[in-house]
Amino acid sequence: MKLPRKEKSMLNGYLEYRKARGIECEDKVKDVKRYVLHIRFILQKSLPEIDLKDLRSILAIINRSRLSSYARNTIKTDLKNLLKYLFPDWSLRFANLEDIKLESNARNEKKLNAQALFQKEDIEKIIKHEAKVYWKAFFLCQYEGGLRTMETRYLKWDDIKLNSDGDISEVNIYATKTKRARIIFVKEATFYLNKLKEEQKNLKQQGVYVFHSKNDVNEPIDKATVSTWFRALTIRALGRQGWSYLLRHSRGTELYRLAKQGKIAKDTAIEFMGHSEDMSKVYSHFDKKEIKEMLKNQVYKLEDLPEEKKHELEKEIDDLKMANKKLWEQLERIAAMARASYEAVTKGRNTEIALKNIKGFSEKEGGT
């Protein structure tokens, strides 16, 4: 929405104030701006005119929303900061802001709920329910790479050594959170990344970012769009609401479990996830082969396959069908021979002849 000049100046001043207070991430600044504009739109009242009644109306809407506890707390905290900035008399005007109550344990809500983690069958269901190549690629990149949502959104084509044969691709990641670079690998995502790149080229929509904005190919997809898409997709596919951070947490759980089982080194899991602890040891112990081996062994039942793989699988199925047919024919001949031999014996015919027939049949069938 378009604000009057006075309010626009007020909002810009507030955003500069928040930056000065420690917000470094541009995404966070955009989030704060979006929250303010949402409040302004809902109330249909200029910012300087907000009173206690308005505050309580907004809080009621936030509390009834389907947002996670963490998200609701974030919005409430930003709202409190905004009111303190706008109104020097905020304590009197808004009853000391006592109506703004944060939900306990919300910060760890996503990490602590193990039941919300995605299992292999969940991944398969979600991919099956997503129709667009763009979002299939986004989903699998974040999950297989154990990426933060922001890292996936800001992924550039130049960061990817894309394997055109559909095998494992190498991705270079720079984490804005830890200020460190790392290398991750993706396997199932490779197929969709190839399709997405071809699709963007054909539509002349390829830009800097792999997952670009709808309105600007040289800008990354925004956080709100990803959140809305992911919530709707998980509800549709799993019957429950999920958030994209869980893809990273689910992957991290898998890796650390493998480390505990002694199947990969613990430092490999730390490096792959880009965690900050023990960073001095990370690069000297990082074994790319271990991660690649894990990816090769972790195959999902995805609907789309390269034509070459489809052909190989179809040939394998045809060969198995033919072998199965021959086996049944052989069994039928054996059964017929057995019945004939049994009849010969029971009717008093020469037993030696019946045994000779069985031996000859066995040799003919290759010793079965």
Lowest-confidence region among 49-63, 71-85, 173-187: 173-187
Distance from C-alpha of 56 to C-alpha of 62, rounded to nearest angstrom: 10
Choice between 310 and 122, residue whose per-residue pLDDT is larger: 122
Distance from C-alpha of 209 to C-alpha of 201, rounded to nearest angstrom: 13
Please state the CATH superfamily assignment of the domain spanning residues 113-297 in this structure: Intergrase catalytic core (1.10.443.10)
The single residue listed with the structure tokens 């972790």 is 298
pLDDT in the model for residue 279: 31
pLDDT in the model for residue 3: 83
- In percent, the amount of the chain with pLDDT more than 70 equals 75
Distance from C-alpha of 29 to C-alpha of 17, rounded to nearest angstrom: 11
Long-range pairs, 333-340, Cβ under 8 A, ≥24: 333/361, 333/365, 334/361, 334/365, 334/368, 337/361
3-state helix, strand, coil in the chain (%, to 5): 65, 5, 30
pLDDT in the model for residue 90: 92
Residue 183 confidence class, pLDDT cut points 50, 70, 90: confident
Choice between 348 and 84, residue whose per-residue pLDDT is larger: 84
pLDDT in the model for residue 137: 95
Residue 195 token pair: 């399709």
Choice between 144 and 323, residue whose per-residue pLDDT is larger: 144
pLDDT in the model for residue 223: 86
Q: Would the pTM count as exceeding 0.75?
A: no
